[in-house]
A and B are shown apart, each in its own frame.
Chain A
Amino acid sequence: MVTNLDFLTQFTKGDKAKMKKYIEMYLDTAKQKMEVMKNALQAKEYETLKVAAHTMKSQARYMGISTVEADIVSLEHTCTEQKNLEQLPTLVEKVNNILSQSITELLEKVNTL
């Protein structure tokens, strides 16, 4: 499991409708930003890549996805500094793999709410 909904449960005081609303918002954003990151990497648009990763950083925190934060920070840093750009494909792949797994887990969760 890459997600942990303890924070969201506490934040919504267990309100299932609210949890569903936030999870669906996360799912929409995650799917969209994964696509943006992939395309930006191919097009070498590093600013776009950085902004997309940055958006996912806080959203992932709220879904308890702690494993992705370090890679997102590295990705942002690499895009800002424009150094060691060769590590970007690996970073994007790692981030997108974790986000993909979070999408699978949260889709299952949303169906039970």
Chain B
Amino acid sequence: MAKQERIIFLVDDDNMQLQMMKDYLDERFEMKLYQYATGEEALANMHLNPEIVILDYHLMSVNKTAENGVEILKKMKNACPTAAVIMLSGQDKISVAVECMKNGAYDYVVKSESAFMRLENIFNNIGEHMKTMHQLKIYKLGFRILIGAIVLIAILAFVAVKMGWASAHMGGFD
């Protein structure tokens, strides 16, 4: 079976931030990266089913009518609940971080020199989480098959015993 490609969305209206993230992640992960300057553009492409979305909290520096990060976050989680959305912000405010996490963000990263390393760690954690979830799915399927087989064997054994009993009794009339 072909390995499924990891699809990542980067959403930021700061071109330099976007380029730095792209370069950093490209060097470390195999994935298909899509870049968007507004949340609206990213939302229009949620059918691509991204595994991870890095979403800037402030998206109004280029387009003043663009919706802010939390509004976009809610819509993204609605459109693609499995996507891990990492919020990125220039402000180190606990209230903003809490608001993002309450609305379904996977994590909150402050734009700073350590942001890139934090993103790398979060990517690795998400990768591990996805692997575990996949294994869990396989175990669940295996367990269901096992239970089905046990039930089937039990039915067959019951039928066999019944038939044995019937033939023994029917033999009595010969």
Contacts and interface: CB of A to CB of B under 8 A. Distances in A.
B120 to A, nearest CB: 12
A7 B113 contact: yes
Interface residues of B, number: 18
Band of interface residues on A? 10 to 19
Interface stretch (A50-58, A81-89, A101-109): A50-58
Given A11-B116, A62-B113, A25 B61 contact: no
Interface string B85-112: 0000011000000000000000000011
A62 B112 CA distance: 7
A8 to B, nearest CB: 9
8 contacts: A22-B16, A51-B61, A52-B61, A54-B91, A58-B14, A59-B17, A61-B111, A62-B113
A70 B19 CA distance: 26
Interface of B: 14-17, 19-20, 23-24, 58, 60-61, 64, 90-91, 111-113, 116
B54 to A, nearest CB: 14
Interface of A: 7, 11, 18, 21-22, 25-26, 29, 48, 51-52, 54-55, 57-59, 61-62
A54 B61 contact: yes
A63 B19 CA distance: 15
A48 to B, nearest CB: 8
A58 B111 contact: yes
Which 6 residue pairs spanning A and B have beta carbons closest together?
A58-B111, A25-B16, A7-B113, A58-B90, A55-B61, A51-B61
B78 to A, nearest CB: 26
Contacts of B58: 51, 54
